[in-house]
Amino acid sequence: MFDDECILVDEQDNVVGHESKYTCHLMEKIESENLLHRAFSVFLFNSKHELLLQQRSATKVTFPLVWTNTCCSHPLYRESELIQENFLGVRNAAQRKLLDELGIPAEDVPVDQFTPLGRMLYKAPSDGKWGEHELDYLLFIVREVKLVPNPDEVADVKYVSREQLRELIQQADAGEGGVKLSPWFRLVVDNFLMGWWEHLEKGTLAEAVDMETIHKLK
């Protein structure tokens, strides 16, 4: 896994090189060389517009056992995942990782069914040694899927309504039950998710798309 080559980008999302996943997540390198890599976050909803969450496995190097959106990972420095047109490289990577992490077959999540809604740039230390510095593509998809979570990647999964997510956030804020949320998921929740979810339920999601802006969030 650590040998995978992530796509290095500048703050305008131009590809500037590639580096191992290991190096990309070392806070020392992030701080000293300002290493920034491309990432994606998938928000998968069922037909009732409930959002699928995952709890990251205990063996994750960054942010183990935190709850987060459906799938969060990186397009790799390979031809199929570098395609810029229609954000196809990121869509291909999302399809690949939904299978790797959650056992969702490719036919359940066709690449043309992902809706890229926006991009954000953020930095988040994890435990001192490890962290994230990502330019993150935020993707929605509505599909009924078959789930076979990979225990090496995922500790638990659940679908939540908007109200149930609000309750989960309140638990995390209060420190109840050891509930923690990933920093990137919390940024999306605080800045975009509820409005986009409302658009999804109204059938007006296209109105929410903004792939021109790169939101720099802390």
* CA dist., res. 63 & res. 3, Å (int): 20
- Which among 217, 194, 183, 144 has a CA at the least distance from the CA of 56? 183
CA atoms within 13 A on the CB side of 93: 31
DSSP calls for 176-207: GGG--B-HHHHHHIIIIIHHHHHHHHHT-GGG
3-state SS, residue 152: coil
Q: Which residues are designated catalytic? A: 72, 134
CA atoms within 13 A on the CB side of 171: 14
Alpha helix positions (H), the chain: 21-24, 27-33, 88-102, 162-174, 183-188, 194-202
- Which among 6, 14, 57 has a CA at the least distance from the CA of 30? 6
How many C-beta atoms lie closer than 10 Å to residue 167's C-beta? Answer: 13
